[in-house]
Structure 1
Amino acid sequence: MRRNLLPVLALLCGTLFLFLGNGLQGLLLPVRGSIEGYSNEILGLLGTTWASGFVVGCFVAPNVVRRIGHVRAFSSFLALICLNVLLTGLLVDQTAWLILRAITGFCTAGTSMIIESWLNERATSESRGTIFSLYISITLFGVVGGQLMVPFADVSTPTLFMIGGILYSIAALPTTLSKAASPQPLKRARLDLKGLFRNSPISFVGILLIGIANGAYGTLGAVFATRAGLDQSSVAAMVSITIFAGALMQFPAGRLSDKMDRRYVLAGLSAAAALAGLAVALMRPAGVYDIVVLVAIYGAAANSLYPIAVAHANDFAAPEDFVKVSGGLLLLYGIGTIIGPSLGGPVMSWAGPYALFAVTAAAHILITAYAIVRSRQRAPVPTGDREVYTASPSANGPLSTPESLSLDPRAQTTSTTTEGNRKEN
């Protein structure tokens, strides 16, 4: 096992620095934007443009890689990201920031897809599960680690933007200096909305609403905390605790969904997220401790929903359709993250910063209601025939790409099963 992991350690190291930069930049911009007096609508659009660029990148980046190769494409994408974060610190202008965020989202999709395809190429049947788990953990700790850098420098100076550029530059080294052969061409993303809805209506609707809620909070959570009077350290702690709480809750929630109708688990967790959000929206707590506790409860429930919805969809899909179904839901989630910040910003401007959680609560209430309705209209898959729950990198951190699904051990298992059935027939 150790021998199988050695070839991917450099890639995983580069991944860590990539997500450190993503986490730092993702929190730095809304905090700095709030200090500069940018409106909630503009701050929400920072998330919308990034997510839009990312989703477009999932479709277009494979063509770029085919034309110029993995190493050149990876170096180009990272160079643009590095350039963008430095320009963001120099050009403190809301229009420039929106354009740069869209380009960064596009390039982040490209770099992520290349890393994931490289890891998939190096993974063996023996090491695939370990590599997938390491990849999830590194993306999580990278994002949180980047966010926790924010309190260590003055947000109003270019220092943190320069640190972001350094992190992205380091991320390029392991791949560009590697002598390993390039992996197979990237897979093209596909989105079959009709097929996804026919397969599982609750997963289709639920994933879209989860994307809206997570996109709104992921982009505007720091804006809420700043508007509520929290200092830089408290803002970073609040945003990070949401991710950690979700990571800790994924496994007990997932195991519970393996033993009972997943729609009931979705309904229960969505209701818990809605109640926590409504508590923040209606009680308007001013103390740091009260806000952090309620947000931690919110994060634990809200960030556990995505992998359960994906597992439920795959319960009803053919084994060989795992990548197709999961990839389609991932892109649908991306569409939700485009809508969420665009909706949350104006609501916050109209009703105040605490109204952000009214937006997330509305989404979670709709998930709860629809999950209960669907549980009355379709029988659950028997426990023995269900797909076993697996944690997802998109549940707590930034968007992941469809290429990451090829690294998931479930894709390898279903592929092997399908090939075995063909031989038997």
Structure 2
Amino acid sequence: MVRSLLPLGALLLGSAFLLFAGGVNGLILPVRGEIEGFSASALGLLGTGWALGYVAGCLLTPRLVARVGHIRSFGAMCAIASIAVLLSLLMLTPWVWIPLRGISGFCFAGAAMIVESWLNERADRNSRGRIFGVYTMVNLAATTAGQLALTLGDPSGFFFFVLAALVYSMALLPTALSATTTPTALASVSLDLPALWRNSPIAVFAVLMTGLSNGSFGALSAVYAARVGLTLREVAFFASVPILAGALAQIPVGELSDRFDRRKVLIGIAALALVADGIFVLVSPSGTWANLATAGIFGAAVFSMYPLIVAHANDHASPGTYFQVSGGLLLVFGIGSIIGPTVAGFAMTAYGFTSLFWVTAGGHVLLIIFAVLRLRARPGVAQEDKTAFKVQPIVRTSTPETLVLAEGEEGTAEPT
């Protein structure tokens, strides 16, 4: 295994730098925004900007790479992301931060796709699973480390902006200096909502609600944590613990979904998320451990939904269309991530910080109702016809190339 991974070390190191910088950048903005007195609605729009840029990056990066190549595109993405972070430091206003956050999302998606295409080129049938597993662990560790780095200094200064910009720049060095061969064209994916709906209505609706919930929490969890009185160190843990819990929860959720109707498992997970929503809204936990424990329950539920939804959609997909189905759902998730932070941010401004979890609860209630209706409308998939559940990275950092790397399929659809 070590022998197969050594040639990929430069790519994995570049990805680690990219995810570390993304973790720092994604958390310092809402934390610093709180210090500067930005409204929750403005901070929610940062999440909206990121999601818009990220979806655009997933759609447009294949065309850019086709024109100027992988290495030039990757270098440009890292450089522009670094510039965007520094401009955020120079201009402390949300109306500049929002478009810059969109640029960061675009560059982050593009750079991740290029790294993944290189990894996919070097993976074969025997090593693909190991490479994808190591890549997933590296990204999870780097993202968490980037978020927890905020516990090491003062967010009211310039240090964390410069750190994120520095590490974004460092991300381009391993690939620029590597002798790794240039891969083939990037996978591209289209958004065909009618086809996705015909394949599985519950998958489309559930992934939209999951994007709404996860996008809201990802953009505004630090704001909520700060307003309930958590320290900076505790805010960093409040943002990181749910991601780790969601990654660990995928294993038991996958086991359950392979044995039972995936829709029933999805209803159960959504109900667990709703319990966490209710605790945040109705109980208003005080103290570090109560908030972290509730956030862990919330993360275990919401961050394990996406792979379950994709597995259910693929149960109904025709052979050879798995990439198109999974890629389309990824874009629907992105649409939910655009809507969620906007709604939650304005709700928090108008009705208070607990409104974040009123918004996520609304998404979970609608998901449960729709899933129950679909249980009555369509029989479950026979056990022998189910596709295998696959553990996946946290979807906020997934791209169409992640799907290719995980599945070993070629994406051929043009972006529309």
Indicate whether the TM-score tops 0.5.
yes
> In 2, are the aligned partners of 1:51 and 1:105 still within 8 Å (CA)?
yes
Opposite residue 343 of structure 2, the aligned amino acid is: L
Question: How many angstroms apart in 1 are the aligned matches of 2:255 and 2:390?
Answer: 9
Is the CA contact (8 Å cut-off) linking 1:113 and 1:403 kept in structure 2? yes
Mapped contact 1:213–1:340 kept (Cα < 8 A): yes
2:264 is matched with 264
Q: For the residues of structure 1 that align with 2:222 and 2:2, how far apart are their CA atoms?
A: 40
Separation in 2, partners of 1:153, 1:90: 19
In the TM superposition, residue 67 of structure 1 has moved relative to its aligned partner by 1.0
Q: Which residue of 2 aligns with 1:24?
A: 24
SS at match of 1:376: helix
Counterpart check, 1:184 vs 2:184? yes
Q: What residue is the counterpart of 2:293 in the other structure?
A: 293
User: How far did 1:43 drift?
Assistant: 0.1
Q: 2:215 is matched with which residue?
A: 215
Equivalent residues of 1:32, 1:155 under 8 A apart: yes
What TM-score does the superposition give when structure 1 sets the normalisation length?
A: 0.95
Give the match's secondary structure for 2:320: helix
Unmatched 5+ residue regions in structure 1?
Answer: 416-425
The separation in 1 between residues aligned to 2:190 and 2:17, in whole angstroms, is: 29
Match runs of 1:7-406 below 5 Å:
7-395=7-395, 398-406=396-404
Q: Bigger shift: 94-103 or 330-339?
A: 94-103
Which moves more between the two structures, 288-297 or 198-207?
288-297
What corresponds to 1:420 in structure 2? none
Give 1:399 shift: 3.1
Aligned-partner Cα distance in 2 for 1:109–1:295: 26
Do the aligned residues in 2 keep the contact of 1:247 with 1:303 (CA within 8 Å)?
yes
Deviation string, structure 1 residues 353-412 (Cα, Å, up to 9, x no partner): 1111111111111111211211111111111221110011134xx331112111113638
Within 2, Cα distance between the matches of 1:186 and 1:390?
22
Amino acid at match of 1:409: E
Maintained 8 Å contact 1:39/1:349: yes
Letter matched to residue 24 of structure 1: V
User: Is contact 1:192-1:328 (8 Å) kept?
Assistant: yes
8 Å Cα contact 1:132/1:409 also seen in 2: no
Q: Deviations over 1:268-293 (max 9, x none)?
A: 00011011111111112222221111
Q: Post-superposition shift, 1:10?
A: 1.1
Deviation per CA, 1:109-146: give whole Å up to 9, x if none. Answer: 11011011111001011110011111211221111110
CA deviation map 1:169-199 (0-9, x unaligned): 2211111111222111112221110000110
**AA of the residue aligned to 1:364:** H
Cα pair 1:4 1:124 within 8 Å, conserved: no
CA distance in 1, matches of 2:397, 2:200: 22
Residues 143-165 of structure 1: per-residue CA shift (max 9 Å, x gap): 11100001111000000111111
Sequence identity percentage? 46
Cα separation, 2, equivalents of 1:107 and 1:302: 26
CA gap 1:410/1:319 in 2 versus in 1, 3 angstroms = farther
| CA distance in 2: counterparts of 1:368 and 1:232, whole angstroms | 35
* CA RMSD after TM alignment: 1.4
Q: Deviations over 1:299-333 (max 9, x none)?
A: 11111111000000000001211111000000110
Q: Name the CA distance, whole Å, in 2 between partners of 1:391 and 1:234.
A: 28
- Return the offset for 1:345: 0.4
Gaps of 5+ in 2: none
Deviations 1:28-49 (A, max 9, x none): 1001001100011100000101
In the alignment, the residues of structure 1 paired with residue 189 and residue 329 of structure 2 have an alpha-carbon distance, to the nearest angstrom, of 11
Residue aligning to 1:418: none
How many equivalent pairs are there? 412
Quote the Cα distance in structure 1 between the aligned partners of 2:384 and 2:200.
19
1:422 corresponds to which residue? Answer: none
Equivalent in 394, 408, 411 of residue 409 of structure 2: 411
The answer to which of 272-281 and 286-295 deviates more is 286-295
Q: TM-score, normalised by structure 2?
A: 0.97
How many angstroms apart in 2 are the aligned matches of 1:370 and 1:127? 40
The whole-number CA distance in structure 2 between the counterparts of 1:137 and 1:374 is 35
Partner secondary structure for residue 22 of structure 1: helix
CA distance in 1 between counterparts of 2:405 and 2:285 reads 42
- Would you say the 8 A contact 2:247–2:393 is kept in 1? no
